[in-house]
Structure 1
């Protein structure tokens, strides 16, 4: 049984992510939790009102959140008719990051699936601010789905790595399950001019291989160049369906996430992007 958490702001982007999630797990038993975090809506516009007015506004927004979530659950059940799936509405008077972290711990969530942008995000950016915050601070695997991406089975998965990270078995298990379910190729891409690996790299590479027994795993080395460009080019040239990266200290992904804007580094994947968190949970 998979526990899947899907944050929503009731935008088309969020609905698109829900549709992708239902397709990915359509043949598996899964609990889907639709979460709307509304603390920012309460605090944002009402800084200078009295306590009574604030509480009224808070209740109005809370009731609206619950009504929209219940409607979303009902509509999803009506459209899918999948006996393997269960749905639950989760209104949360918290910030998005806190709500996701707390609920992930409470329900032992396996994966968070969300859109790359929310209702207010510019079409010129790759990831909205909420998505970047979730990538950076939520201690759970996060799968971001571009709003223009039409669902196709993830038959080809790109996993760039420098083999310096001691992977976590739980998250590699998630990747192995996805690869096994779709009989997918996993391309482990190493960007370096050095062919020889250190003992640490060899151990981590071996652990990766042992942890993905159901994947059609291959190892690819490309010479050093702009890493974002190398990844984007590989995605296009090899028609990849899913990009997977690990967020950890001193990693390429961490560097990308801490730029003043994520687009400065030039990685603009047009395919779903799974971020695995090498953080304590």
Structure 2
């Protein structure tokens, strides 16, 4: 059984991520923990005035959150009666990433699925601060769903490797589970700074071939192109349905999501982005 964490602020963006999760895990035994996080600093004078005299603002906010979660879990249970799903609501009054960390640890979460929660363009999504903080600070795989993205069968999955990455089987389960379940073709893309092939890179490719021997896979590389631009172009040309990667270094996160001083290009995902940890 899988334990999946679904953070929600009851927005259309978070609801869309939940809808994706319902489709993504079809025919699997799953417990979905739906988490709503309330932050004390958000509640000002209006909340104080609106709260009943016999209760605190804190308790009033928590009660409202619990009611909304109860409605949502009942609705999802009703809509997925043909699936082996169970749903549990969690309300927390905390810093967003701290609440996520606590839930991941206490509920033994296998994967966090959340919306991008940032500004959007016609075909692109900018990552919001909550999403980036979870990617940075939470030790759990994260699947980020672009706003408005509707589930499609995962025919082709991209596994992106940074030039400084070295192959390690630890943390690969979410990717392997996905391509195995959907019988996806796997495109392995190496983002390189130059055409030099090192011994370590040669060894990595050999290990990757062996590791994915039972999965239809191909190798690709793009040289001397900013990572964000290289991936975005590849996703469009190769009709990618999901992009998976490890993000291990803070410097790469900054360069990838915000753009370097030289490129000024930040990553804006068109397809679900699976962030793995090892």
TM-score (norm 1): 0.85
Shift of 1:182: 0.5
**Residues 1:44 and 2:42 aligned together:** yes
Summarize deviations over 1:210-237 as a string: whole Å, max 9, x none. Answer: 4445532221122212221111111111
> Matched residues in 1 for 2:194 and 2:257: separation?
26
**Residues 1:219 and 2:210 aligned together:** no
Residue 74 (structure 1) aligns with? 74
Name the CA shift for 1:215/1:25 in 2 (closer, same or farther; >3 Å).
same
SS in 1 for 2:72: helix
> Matched residues in 2 for 1:86 and 1:206: separation?
41
Name the CA shift for 1:193/1:241 in 2 (closer, same or farther; >3 Å).
same
Residue 101 (structure 1) aligns with? 101
Shift of 1:155: 1.5
Report how many aligned residue pairs link the two structures. Answer: 268
Is this contact kept in 2: 1:163–1:204, CA < 8 A? no
* Range with bigger deviation, 93-102 or 208-217: 208-217
Is this contact kept in 1: 2:258–2:266, CA < 8 A? no
Shift of 1:251: 5.7
Summarize deviations over 1:2-34 as a string: whole Å, max 9, x none. Answer: 111000000111111011001010111111110
Aligned runs of 1:1-281 on 2, under 5 Å? Answer: 1-38=1-38, 40=39, 42-46=40-44, 56-117=56-117, 121-124=118-121, 126-162=126-162, 164-166=164-166, 169-192=169-192, 194-249=194-249, 252-257=252-257, 264-278=264-278
Name the CA shift for 1:91/1:193 in 2 (closer, same or farther; >3 Å).
closer
SS in 1 for 2:179: helix
> Matched residues in 2 for 1:44 and 1:126: separation?
23
Shift of 1:169: 3.6
Is this contact kept in 2: 1:65–1:91, CA < 8 A? yes
Shift of 1:83: 4.0
Q: Which runs of 5+ in 1 are unaligned?
A: none
> Matched residues in 2 for 1:104 and 1:193: separation?
36
Name the CA shift for 1:74/1:170 in 2 (closer, same or farther; >3 Å).
farther
Shift of 1:185: 1.4
* Range with bigger deviation, 223-232 or 24-33: 223-232
SS in 1 for 2:225: coil
Shift of 1:138: 1.3
> Matched residues in 1 for 2:143 and 2:112: separation?
6
Name the CA shift for 1:99/1:202 in 2 (closer, same or farther; >3 Å).
farther
Is this contact kept in 2: 1:173–1:211, CA < 8 A? no
Cα RMSD (Å): 2.7
> Matched residues in 2 for 1:61 and 1:168: separation?
44
Is this contact kept in 2: 1:2–1:110, CA < 8 A? yes
Is this contact kept in 2: 1:37–1:94, CA < 8 A? yes
Q: Which runs of 5+ in 2 are unaligned?
A: none
